[in-house]
Structure 1
C-alpha cells in the first residue's frame, strides 16, 4: 500500500481505497480518508490536469466463493443460528461492495461530470457509513460463530455497477434508487425476524445503526439524480454550486413539470438497466424520507404481489 500523502486529492485517496484488497483494511482506510476530507486535511476533490484510471473491478480478496444469484442458498427466516449466520453474512458481503461503490462513484464520476463539492462530501459520508456497517456486522458475524468468507455470495451489486459505469445518472438510479431502496423495503422484516428468533443484538444493530443511515444513502442518490436531471435542463443555474431543488423549480413556476421530467427519466433508466419489475411491498415511509414517493416506483412494480411473498435480504 502506498504511503498516505498529505497533498493527495480525494479522488487519488479514493483510488487507494479501491485498490485495497482486504475489506477490513479497505474500511479502515476509507474511514481515515473520509475523516481527512471532512476535517479539511484533504482539500481538493481532484486535480483537473490528471485523468486517473479507475479499475473496472476494485481489488478484492478471493476468500469469498462467488456464485450466481440464482444459485444462492435460501437464507431462511432467522429462526435458527444457521439462518442468522447466513443472513448476516449476506449483509456483510453487501456492505463490502457498498464501500467500493461509494468510493467508485467519487473516483469515476466526480471529475468527469464536474460535480460540485457537496457531491463529494455526500458520498464520502456514505462511504464512511458503509465501512462502519461492514466492520460492525462482520464483528457480529464472528460473535455468531462465523467469519466473512465462510459462505458463498454473489456480486450482483457490482454487475449493476459495471452496467452503469459510463453514466452517472444510471448509476444513481440503479444502485441508490433501486438496490438501496430495496434494502429499505426488506430491513424492517429482517429486523423483526431477528427479534422473533431471540437475537436482539443483531436486530438492534440493524435497527439503530444500519437502517437510519441507509435512508440517508438512498436520499443522496435521489438528491443527485434530481440535480443532474435539472442541470441538464438549465446548466447555468447549476454551474457553480448546489441549488435548492425545491427553490429552483418553484421560482420558475414549473416544479410539477420538472418533477415529471425527472421521474420519466428515472423510469426510462430503470427499464433499460434493471431486469424485470420492482418487487413490492414497498417501505413507503422510508422511501418518502429518502425523497421519493410512489410515483417514482409504483409504475415500475409488479402489479400484484403474491400473498405469500417472502422478504429475504
Structure 2
C-alpha cells in the first residue's frame, strides 16, 4: 500500500478496502487505514470537488460458495465439532460482510450527506472492530480444524445493503439498527451453546470481544439515525445527538420515522425474543422496536 493512503481522503481509502477481494487483506488494510485516520495521518474525510464512484457491490473473493439462505445447511447447536465449525464459519462470513458494510457507508454516504467528522470516526471504529472480529474468528476456525471457505454461505446482509443504497436513513435503520440489534439478540444463546459444547475458548472470544463491541455498533446506527432526523429541523447542522434525549422530537419525529422506514424496507415483523438489556445499552429501547414486532 505504501504511503499513498496518507495523502488520500478517507473516502478514497475506504474505496481501497471495498475494491480489495481477499477478505484477510480487506481486514488488514481496513485496520491500517483506521489507524491512520484515528492518528490524524489521514486528515480529510472527502474532497467535495471529486466525484467518487462507489461500486454497487464490493469486491469479494471466490473462496466461499454462495447459496440462497433457504439452501443453507443447519448450523446445529455446537454439540459436535462439525456444528462448532459451521457456527464459527457463519460468524466469520458475517464479519467479512460487516467490514464492507462499514466502509461502504463511509464511502457512499459521507460526502453525499455532508456528514460531520464524528460520523466518519464512528464508522471507522466500527469497521476496525469488524475486521478484528473477522481475523480472530477466522483464526479460531483454523484452530477448530477448518477454514473460511470450507462451507457454503449466503449474502443476505448485502441484499439489504443494495436495497438501501440510495437512502442513508434506510441504511442506518436496516443494517446498523435492525440487523445489528438482531445480532445482539442471538449472541448470548450462541455463547451458551459453545459453553455447553465444551468450547470455552470460542465462548470467551464472543463474550469478551465481539459482544460488547457489537453493542457500540448498534449505538452508532441509532445515534446517526437520530442525527439525520433532528438536523432537518435544526439551524445547527451539527446538532448534538447526545443532547437529543431531552428533545421531545425523538419520540414525536425520530422513532415514528424509524418505524416508517423499517416497514418500507424490512419484510415482515421483527422477531422476538429481544435482548432488551443489550439493546437498551445501545440506546435502542423498546419504543423503537416493539411496535415493529407485530403484524400490521
Q: TM-score, normalised by structure 1?
A: 0.92
Distance 2:239 2:89 in 1: 38
Deviation at 1:187, TM superposition (A): 0.2
Judge conservation of contact 2:165–2:171 (CA < 8 Å) in 1.
Answer: yes
**Shift in alpha-carbon separation, 1:259–1:144, aligned structure 2, 3 A:** same
Distance 2:189 2:245 in 1: 37
**Which of 272, 291, 312 pairs up with 2:283?**
291
Distance 2:25 2:98 in 1: 15
Let me know the Cα RMSD of the aligned residues: 1.3
**Residue aligning to 1:311:** none
Judge conservation of contact 2:63–2:149 (CA < 8 Å) in 1.
Answer: yes
**Shift in alpha-carbon separation, 1:2–1:20, aligned structure 2, 3 A:** farther
Whether 2:107 is the aligned partner of 1:107: answer yes
**Residue aligning to 1:199:** 199
For structure 2, the residue ranges without an aligned partner over 5 or more in a row are none
Whether 2:55 is the aligned partner of 1:55: answer yes
Whether 2:277 is the aligned partner of 1:280: answer no
Distance 2:173 2:74 in 1: 28
Distance 1:148 1:302 in 2: 37
Distance 1:123 1:188 in 2: 24
Distance 1:258 1:178 in 2: 18
Distance 1:85 1:249 in 2: 43
Judge conservation of contact 2:231–2:239 (CA < 8 Å) in 1.
Answer: no
Deviation at 1:232, TM superposition (A): 1.4
Distance 1:100 1:283 in 2: 26
Match of 2:35, SS? helix
**Residue aligning to 1:153:** 153
Deviation at 1:46, TM superposition (A): 0.5
**Shift in alpha-carbon separation, 1:82–1:262, aligned structure 2, 3 A:** same
Distance 1:157 1:225 in 2: 19
Distance 1:276 1:270 in 2: 9
Deviation at 1:51, TM superposition (A): 1.1
Deviation at 1:65, TM superposition (A): 0.7
Distance 2:11 2:26 in 1: 15
Deviations 1:115-148 (A, max 9, x none): 0000000000000000000000000000001100
Judge conservation of contact 2:102–2:123 (CA < 8 Å) in 1.
Answer: yes
Instruction: Give runs of aligned pairs for residues 228-243 of structure 1, distance below 5 A.
Output: 228-234=228-234, 236-237=235-236, 239=237, 241-243=238-240
Instruction: Give runs of aligned pairs for residues 80-229 of structure 1, distance below 5 A.
Output: 80-229=80-229
Deviation at 1:220, TM superposition (A): 0.2
For structure 1, the residue ranges without an aligned partner over 5 or more in a row are 304-313
Deviations 1:197-241 (A, max 9, x none): 00000000000000000000000000000010111122x22x2x3
Distance 2:2 2:70 in 1: 39
Whether 2:256 is the aligned partner of 1:264: answer yes
Equivalenced residues, count:
295
Judge conservation of contact 1:118–1:242 (CA < 8 Å) in 2.
Answer: no
**Shift in alpha-carbon separation, 1:302–1:35, aligned structure 2, 3 A:** same
